[in-house]
């Protein structure tokens, strides 16, 4: 017997209901948090990055805050942490969920180049 997964019905958000659009709010709570956008954007441009290279990309962010944000993004399953078994080198990359943000960030970059 084949099990059929029910797809959640999502109602499109209308301007008068934006405060009720929890998916939109949740998305911006994640990607709108300080430094998260830059972390995700940096990881969009490469397969995996070591912590020190990521820290170099986001110099204004302290190491402590960067570690905190990476852990948050890991919990959200946007970033994955990998440890090389031979060298012990830790690197970070995007999960499939995180990689799905690449076109979004490409558009933000395009908008920023034009308007910001």
Residue 5 lies in a domain: no
Residue 15 lies in a domain: no
For residue 77, CA distances in Å to 8, 30, 60, 62, 71 come to 20, 11, 24, 22, 10
Please give the distance of CA 101 from its chain centroid, rounded to a whole number.
Answer: 7
Q: How many CB atoms lie within 10 A of CB 101?
A: 20
Residue 6 lies in a domain: no
> Which of 101, 94, 84 lies closest to 46, judged by CA?
94
pLDDT in tens, 63-110: 999 999 999 999 999 999 999 999 999 999 999 999 999 999 999 999
Residue 103, domain extent: 20-113
> Residue 67 maps to which CATH number?
1.10.10.10
Residue 77 lies in a domain: yes
Residue 94 lies in a domain: yes
pLDDT in tens, 1-46: 444 444 455 666 777 766 668 888 899 999 999 999 999 999 998 9
Residue 58 lies in a domain: yes
Q: Count the domains in the chain.
A: 1
> Which of 62, 72, 74, 3 lies closest to 33, judged by CA?
72
pTM over 0.85: no
């Amino acid at each position: 017997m084949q099990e059929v997964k029910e797809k959640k019905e999502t109602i499109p958000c209308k301007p008068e209901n934006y405060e009720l659009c929890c998916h939109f709010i949740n998305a911006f709570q994640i990607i709108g948090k300080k430094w998260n956008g830059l972390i995700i954007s940096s990881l969009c441009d490469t397969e995996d990055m070591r912590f020190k290279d990521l820290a170099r990309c986001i110099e204004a962010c302290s190491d402590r805050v960067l570690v905190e944000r990476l852990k948050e993004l890991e919990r959200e399953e946007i970033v994955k942490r990998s440890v090389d078994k031979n060298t012990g080198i830790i690197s970070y990359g995007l999960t499939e969920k995180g990689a799905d943000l690449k076109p979004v960030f490409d558009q933000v970059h395009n908008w920023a180049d034009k308007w910001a």
